[in-house]
Amino acid sequence: MHVVKMACERPDDRGVSLSQWDCPELAVRLVADGVVECISSETVRRILLAHQLKPWRQHCWLSPNVPRDAAFAARVAHIVDLYTRPLAPTEIVLCADEKTNLQPRPRRSPTLPAQPGWPVRVEHEYRRAGAVNLFAAFDTRTGRVYACTAERKRQIEFIAFLEQLDREIPAAITTVHIVLDNIWTHKGHKVQAWLAGHPRFAFHHPPVHCSWMNQVEQWFGVLSRKRLGIDDFADPADLAAKLTAYVAHWNLHAHPFNWTTNSASKVMAKCQLLPAA
């Protein structure tokens, strides 16, 4: 049980300057502490496997600043309702956010396409060439994406994106619901003034640290795999053009994501809801 006990402790607590244990380090420490005269890392591995222990792995979690109480559940339920209820012909629900600091990273040599027996080959060395920010909004019912690029991410750029939405969304749509996070770019005084002059737009903010509820994040994942997997663009203008082209490509065959009431219920079931104060 010495192996299990040690594996369940941080190395720093044992005076060992390691971030995490692995089997060889545990074996060395067991001998150094006089627990055994000799033990192999493979023996340590088998003992840990029997106890389902893998101390060399890690999982990040976040202590919520917002309590998981009835008010939290109500905000989640409100967003889920926007995603799942039948919409009137005059309504649209968009999920919006920014994918920031996208770097072109031009390579010293051109990227070579796949050949028989060879994968795609990408030059390792690249140079810095600025960055691009992508503003995007995902239509939850059709999957269509509205997007634009900008050098910076401030209220003024976000308002320019809202102006684009106002132009592109037909006037027959009299209520534009937009789900987006709680950062100042989305809630500042300039944005509030713009909203006051455009009453068909309504913002809906999920609870803090609930980015999983914003469907545009799922689309950003698709974008990262399909278009940004190889970042060898010539310059920011080239990257911006390729992003715009990918949005057009996506919209040719756009599809919504399969979001149901059960999608959130499974997550909420894992939250320990606190009683209302």
Ordered per-residue pLDDT tens for the chain, 277 residues:
788 989 999 999 888 899 999 999 999 998 998 888 899 999 999 999 999 999 999 887 666 666 677 778 888 889 989 999 999 999 999 999 999 999 999 888 988 899 999 999 988 888 898 999 999 999 999 999 999 999 999 999 999 999 999 999 999 999 999 999 989 999 999 999 999 999 999 999 998 878 888 999 999 999 999 999 988 999 999 999 999 999 999 999 999 998 877 766 766 665 555 554 4
Between strands 175-179 and 91-102, the pairing is parallel
Instruction: Return the CATH class of domain 70-270.
Output: alpha beta
Its sign, for the CA torsion 148, 210, 131, 240, is: negative
Domain layout of the chain by residue ranges: 2-50, 70-270
- Predicted confidence at residue 141, as pLDDT, reads 96
- Predicted confidence at residue 233, as pLDDT, reads 92
Three-state secondary structure of the chain: CHHHHHHCCCHHHHCCCCCCCCHHHHHHHHHHCCCCCCCCHHHHHHHHHHCCCCCCCCCCCCCCCCCCEHHHHHHHHHHHHHHHCCCCCCEEEEEEEEEEEECCCCECCCCECCECCECCECCCCECCCCCEEEEEEEECCCCCEEEEEECCCCHHHHHHHHHHHHHHCCCCCCEEEEECCCCHHHHCHHHHHHHHCCCCEEEECCCCCCHHHCHHHHHHHHHHHHCCCCCCCCCHHHHHHHHHHHHHHHHHCCCCCCCCHHHHHHHHHHCCCECCC
- Predicted confidence at residue 155, as pLDDT, reads 96
Locate 117 and state its tokens: 């027996």
